[in-house]
């Protein structure tokens, strides 16, 4: 099967072989142009951006041997996103996706006060073809807070983007975090099933007391205990903004280093600890350590892991 011919203007030309005779037009294009989703290709057909032998056809049109197809995709919308040659810790990359290990302190996508230096800026430089060119979040299907480090999966094609987004929406992606929290968590394992939403007076904060609650579930288990602290393995079942941080604060055990939701606990620490590297590390003790999902190309489940960053290992060394 010959490769699609792409012109410098973005037009794609294909010729139907005898082996593809009888296929639906939209199904054929979806297979040949696999980097685009079937819904997008169908929209192009409906919008008369696909011609067969110079004529408009329905998505259900059955192809004939020798049919010449011309596809004129719409030009990508400007993103306002500037590619930047920033460090990017890539743990895995293939034709459909990559898995990166984000450092703490880096914002995932541009926003107010963070228009450069983001993970999206780095990805725009790293990737030649970005899925979802019309957005300012190239290929990013989930996010981590600025102060959280760890694993993120990034789609390189539209098909992979839709596949991964569907898994997140159906809550089939398994994420696990390592968190150090204030206090001694009583139960060895448990779950926090408390709805979350925007704080009624502070739009940048999330709260359990909100006018528009959304269901949220977090499971946890104790990994180790230290005097005045507990190290947890945390698995969010839902993916609400600041979910882990707010849920653990609701439990009475804020994440160490969380000035937004745990600042009061920070001020209650003994002076010797407050002056230590643990308090001055300048980040949350929250790390996305494990990520598992079904690969869009193979339909097999894959799993990636990330060890604790050195600055968090140093905190545990202090406690030990």
Bridge partners of 197?
207
The single residue listed with the structure tokens 């502070």 is 202
pLDDT for 136 equals: 41
Q: Does 277 score more than 70 pLDDT?
A: no
Contact 84, 116 (CB under 8 A): yes
Q: What is the pLDDT of residues 227-260, one digit of tens each?
A: 889 999 999 999 899 999 999 999 999 999 888 8
Query: For residue 180, what are its two tokens?
Result: 């150090």
Task: Please choose, from the candidates 236, 233, 234, 228, the residue with its C-alpha nearest in 3D space to the C-alpha of residue 256.
Answer: 228
Give the CB-side neighbour count of residue 17, counting CA atoms within 13 A. Answer: 6
Distance, CA of 223 to chain centre:
26
Task: Please choose, from the candidates 98, 143, 96, the residue with its C-alpha nearest in 3D space to the C-alpha of residue 288.
Answer: 143
Q: Which helix (H) or strand (E) holds 42?
A: helix 38-46
By three-state DSSP, how is residue 241 classified? Answer: coil
The single residue listed with the structure tokens 């001694």 is 184
pLDDT for 3 equals: 57
Q: In CATH, what is the architecture of 80-170?
A: 2-Layer Sandwich (3.30)
Give the CB-side neighbour count of residue 203, counting CA atoms within 13 A. Answer: 0
Mean pLDDT value across the chain: 86
% of the chain beyond a pLDDT of 90: 53
Choose the weakest-confidence range: 76-85, 102-111, 165-174, 209-218: 76-85
Q: Does 211 score more than 90 pLDDT?
A: no
Q: What is the pLDDT of residues 83-109, one digit of tens each?
A: 889 999 999 999 899 999 999 999 998
Active site (catalytic) residues: 145
Query: For residue 186, what are its two tokens?
Result: 């009583």
φ/ψ of residue 268, rounded to 5: -90, -5
% of the chain beyond a pLDDT of 70: 85
Q: What is the CA radius of gyration of the chain?
A: 24
Whole-model pTM above 0.85? no
User: What's the DSSP call for residue 144?
Assistant: -
Task: Please choose, from the candidates 315, 319, 304, the residue with its C-alpha nearest in 3D space to the C-alpha of residue 150.
Answer: 304
The single residue listed with the structure tokens 């308090």 is 279
**Domain coordinates in residue numbering, the chain:** 5-71, 80-170, 171-320
DSSP per residue, 90-123: EEEE-SSEEEEEEPTT--SS-BTTBSSSSHHHHH
Q: Which fold has domain 5-71?
A: 3.10.290
CA dist list (Å): 111 to 95, 137, 149, 242? 29, 11, 19, 17
Note whether 80-170 and 171-320 share their fold.
yes
Q: What is the pLDDT of residues 46-94, one digit of tens each?
A: 888 999 999 999 999 999 999 999 998 887 655 567 888 999 999 999 9
CATH superfamily of 171-320: Pseudouridine synthase (3.30.2350.10)
Q: Does 188 score more than 50 pLDDT?
A: yes
pLDDT for 134 equals: 43
Q: What is the pLDDT of residues 120-153, one digit of tens each?
A: 889 988 886 554 444 444 588 899 999 999 999 9
Model confidence at 271, pLDDT cuts 50, 70, 90, reads: low
pLDDT for 38 equals: 79
Contact 215, 238 (CB under 8 A): yes
């Amino acid at each position: 099967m010959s490769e699609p011919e792409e012109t410098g203007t973005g037009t794609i030309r294909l010729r139907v072989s005898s082996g593809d005779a009888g296929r639906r037009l939209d199904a054929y294009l979806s297979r040949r142009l696999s980097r685009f989703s079937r819904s997008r290709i169908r929209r192009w057909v409906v919008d008369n951006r696909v011609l067969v032998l110079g004529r408009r056809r329905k998505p259900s049109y059955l192809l004939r041997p020798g049919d010449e197809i011309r596809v004129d995709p719409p030009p990508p919308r400007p993103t306002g996103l500037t590619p930047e040659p920033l460090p990017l810790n890539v743990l895995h990359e293939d034709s459909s996706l990559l898995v990166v290990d984000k450092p703490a302190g880096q914002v995932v996508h541009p926003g107010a006060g963070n228009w450069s230096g983001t993970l999206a800026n780095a990805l725009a430089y790293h990737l030649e073809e970005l899925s979802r060119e019309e957005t300012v979040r190239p290929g990013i299907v989930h996010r981590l807070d600025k102060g959280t480090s760890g694993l993120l999966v990034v789609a390189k094609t539209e098909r992979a983007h839709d596949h991964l987004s569907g898994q997140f929406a159906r809550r089939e992606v398994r994420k696990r975090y390592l968190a150090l929290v204030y206090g001694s968590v009583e139960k060895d394992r448990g779950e926090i099933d408390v709805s979350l939403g925007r704080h009624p007076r502070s739009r940048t904060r999330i709260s359990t007391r909100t006018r528009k609650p959304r269901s949220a579930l977090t499971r946890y288990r104790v990994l180790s205990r230290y005097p005045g602290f507990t190290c947890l393995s945390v698995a969010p079942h839902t993916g609400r903004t600041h979910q882990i941080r707010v849920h653990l604060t609701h439990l009475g055990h804020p994440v160490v280093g969380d000035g937004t939701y745990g600042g009061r606990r920070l001020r209650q620490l003994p002076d010797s600890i407050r002056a230590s590297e643990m308090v001055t590390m300048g980040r949350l003790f929250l790390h996305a350590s494990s990520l598992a999902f079904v690969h869009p190309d193979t339909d097999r489940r894959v799993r990636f892991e990330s060890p604790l960053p050195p600055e968090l290992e140093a905190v545990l060394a202090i406690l030990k």
